[in-house]
Amino acid sequence: MYTKEMLESIKKVEANRVANAELEPRRMTAEEKETLLKTYHPDYKTDEFRVLSVGPNKGEKVPTELAALLQGKSRINTADIDLSKVDYDVDVLVIGGGGAGSSAAIEAHEAGANVMIVTKLRIGDANTMMAEGGIQAADKPNDSPAIHYLDAFGGGHFAAKPELLYTLVNEAPEAIKWLNDLGVEFDKTEDGTMVTTHGGGTSRKRMHAAKDYSGAEIMRTLRDEVLNRNIPVVDFTAAIELILDENGNAAGAVLLNMETEEILIARAKTVVIATGGAGRMHYQGFPTSNHYGATADGLVIAYRAGAKLLYADTLQYHPTGAAFPEQIFGALVTEKVRSLGAKLINVNGEAFMHPLETRDVSAASIIRECSDRNNGVDTGSGKGVWLDTPMIEMKGGEGTIEKRIPAMLRMFEKYGIDIRKEPILVYPTLHYQNGGLDITKDCMTTNIKNLFAAGEVVGGIHGRNRLMGNSLLDIIVFGRNAGKNAAAAAKNTTVGNLTLNHVDEFAKEAEEYCSGAVSPMLLPDYRNK
Ligand code: MEZ
């Protein structure tokens, strides 16, 4: 399966393995990082962005593909929609069935609200399910939320909204306890102590994991909890526009049954948007580690209703997407592989960087190695660098890979690659949107009352770059808070007359800039690709 060039390069990797394993590549200086990012990170490619001409972020740049959707055409003709015929009438409407949406629904239910989840696929079809390496929380004696804060604030280029990051790190230990009590099977030692590891940019070992199925295990537990509580879940049903009331407050959503194409109306006292990320937008042609439904829908419908975005111009490219074989191109190779000791090695067998730099720096460094430095390995469909997985067992002993990262072992085993014996090829993959809806610390959007948001659809928690394991954490912390606060707000809310005027007003303003793209996208279209 390997080409001659790959086999020759593997020989060099093997010849240097012992020396590379012992080597501690130096960390880059702040100046080196800045130059690297500006030259190689995709966020800095100015011609890949477009300035918005309409809406609350008018004058700001976003990825070209996102601009087309934000200024796109609605899926509905408002004149055809009868808002007096309400199909679902609830206190709290949660849009999205991933980790944040499920956590919100559980807490809203706990608070006594009549809550319903709508999701365009099935509950659990979400990026939460795809997260592998772990969830951060400072709950060990040598750690503290303050240290967690400093790591994340620096890693995010000091751009995080302080009050959001403060909430994230301070409520992290309780989030882990909540998940543990619900039944998440975290990795523990025999005496019950949680096993924790480093991630890129962490100064303490605070990554709690369930092998390398952490997100799947968390999602399994949350889904069980939603179903056990009999919280209604309307699946295969997408929210395609938000409904406001005459006072401009969020008051429900226009829904599309993805199977029958029937249009349905949900009225709600409060709405929680938890629609997740945008990897399936394939910004700049990158492959993605994201689930099939990650198409920025929440950003589009909220923007059209008037919600403000924060940092929508910054994306996360996970340094280690699978670059070979082609069948798994872009699939996530968890950062935990590097936490456990594997190093990044170029075509000549050289360890070219510290394996646990922050993600933006690591991705840019790999891109540089594969471009200007010409030290990448030809994969047949592009370039990649080696991630020398056999180093893990040199460091941790035989059986470490099977025990700690069995999903990785299996993913490559299917293609005849034994990661215990052979290195694997990786290249950055589109993984996470750092930006999203601007929220207050109570999870309400900053400019639409009764519209709450949680999870990847939110911007500003992590600043301009997120550390590993802080996303599984934010979906729990902010998902729960959004659910509690939406339930509380619903108690004091009387919904006024429903309206979709904002959809028409936005369309009028956007007319001359509209690319013709119909949005939200809902599902990626791979035909003819
Ligand atoms: O936080 C993440 O994105 C994560 C845990 C990914 C990973 O590398 O496993």
The pLDDT value given to residue 134? 98
Q: Are residues 127 and 261 in the same domain?
A: yes
Q: Are residues 371 and 476 in the same domain?
A: no
**Quick one: which atom of ligand 1 is closest to the CA of 472?**
1
Q: Are residues 241 and 342 in the same domain?
A: no
Picking from 270, 264, 134, the residue whose alpha carbon sits closest to that of residue 205 is: 134
The pLDDT value given to residue 515? 80
Ligand 1 pocket check for 209: Cβ under 6 Å: no
Please give the angle made by the CA atoms of 219, 185 and 92, to the nearest 5 degrees: 30
The pLDDT value given to residue 1? 82
Task: Tell me the backbone φ, ψ of residue 262, rounded to 5 degrees.
Answer: -70, 140
The domain boundary, picked from 387, 408, 430, lies at 430
Ligand 1 pocket check for 438: Cβ under 6 Å: no
The pLDDT value given to residue 304? 97
Mutation to probe ligand 1, out of 130, 198, 207, 335 (largest number of atoms < 8 A from CB): 335
394 CB neighbour count, 10 Å cutoff: 16
Picking from 289, 431, 284, the residue whose alpha carbon sits closest to that of residue 359 is: 431
Pair of tokens at residue 61 = 């740049």
For residue 392, the domain's CATH number is: 3.90.700.10
Ligand 1 pocket check for 155: Cβ under 6 Å: no
User: Has residue 275 been placed in a domain?
Assistant: yes
Catalytic residue among 50, 291, 304, 318: 318
Picking from 43, 147, 151, 156, the residue whose alpha carbon sits closest to that of residue 463 is: 156
Ligand 1 pocket check for 197: Cβ under 6 Å: no
**DSSP at 135:** E
355 Cβ partners below 8 Å, 6+ apart? 25, 338, 342, 343, 344, 362
Q: Are residues 184 and 231 in the same domain?
A: yes
Q: What is the distance in A from the centroid of ligand 1 to the CA of 321?
A: 11
Q: Are residues 426 and 448 in the same domain?
A: no
Ligand 1 pocket check for 456: Cβ under 6 Å: no
Mutation to probe ligand 1, out of 132, 290, 475 (largest number of atoms < 8 A from CB): 132
The pLDDT value given to residue 362? 98
Pair of tokens at residue 54 = 């309409």
User: Has residue 122 been placed in a domain?
Assistant: yes
Confirm whether 318 is a catalytic residue: yes
Ligand 1 pocket check for 202: Cβ under 6 Å: no
The pLDDT value given to residue 24? 87
Containing domain of residue 328, as a range?
4-40+317-430
**Quick one: which atom of ligand 1 is closest to the CA of 214?**
5
- Given a contact cutoff of 8 angstroms between Cβ atoms, the answer to whether 306 and 501 are in contact is no
- Given a contact cutoff of 8 angstroms between Cβ atoms, the answer to whether 323 and 425 are in contact is yes
What secondary structure does DSSP assign to 3-71, as a single string? -HHHHHHHHHHHHHHHHHHH--PPPPPHHHHHHHHHHH-GGG-GGGEEE--SSTTTT-EEEHHHHHHHT
User: Has residue 54 been placed in a domain?
Assistant: no
The pLDDT value given to residue 65? 97
Catalytic residue among 17, 50, 338, 404: 338
User: Has residue 334 been placed in a domain?
Assistant: yes
**DSSP at 439:** B
For residue 93, the domain's CATH number is: 3.50.50.60
The residue type found at 326 is: E
The domain boundary, picked from 367, 400, 430, lies at 430
* Through-space distance between the first and last CA atoms of the chain, rounded to whole angstroms: 24
Cα 438 from Cα 283, distance rounded (Å): 21
Q: Are residues 424 and 439 in the same domain?
A: no
Q: Are residues 411 and 488 in the same domain?
A: no
**DSSP at 471:** H
Number of domains in the chain: 2
Ligand 1 pocket check for 439: Cβ under 6 Å: no
Nearest CA to ligand 1 atom 9: 133
Strands (E), 200-327: 207-208, 233-234, 237-245, 250-257, 263-273, 309-310, 315-322
Judge if pTM exceeds 0.75: yes
Cα 167 from Cα 34, distance rounded (Å): 28
67 Cβ partners below 8 Å, 6+ apart? 49, 50, 51, 52
pLDDT by position in tens, the chain (length 529): 899 999 999 999 999 999 999 998 999 999 999 999 999 999 999 999 999 999 999 999 999 999 999 999 999 999 999 999 999 999 999 999 999 999 999 999 999 999 999 999 999 999 999 999 999 999 999 999 999 999 999 999 999 999 999 999 999 999 999 999 999 999 999 999 999 999 999 999 999 999 999 999 999 999 999 999 999 999 999 999 999 999 999 999 999 999 999 999 999 999 999 999 999 999 999 999 999 999 999 999 999 999 999 999 999 999 999 999 999 999 999 999 999 999 999 999 999 999 999 999 999 999 999 999 999 999 998 999 999 999 999 999 999 999 999 999 999 999 999 999 999 999 999 999 999 999 999 999 999 999 999 999 999 999 999 999 999 999 999 999 999 999 999 999 999 999 999 999 999 999 998 888 999 999 999 987 7
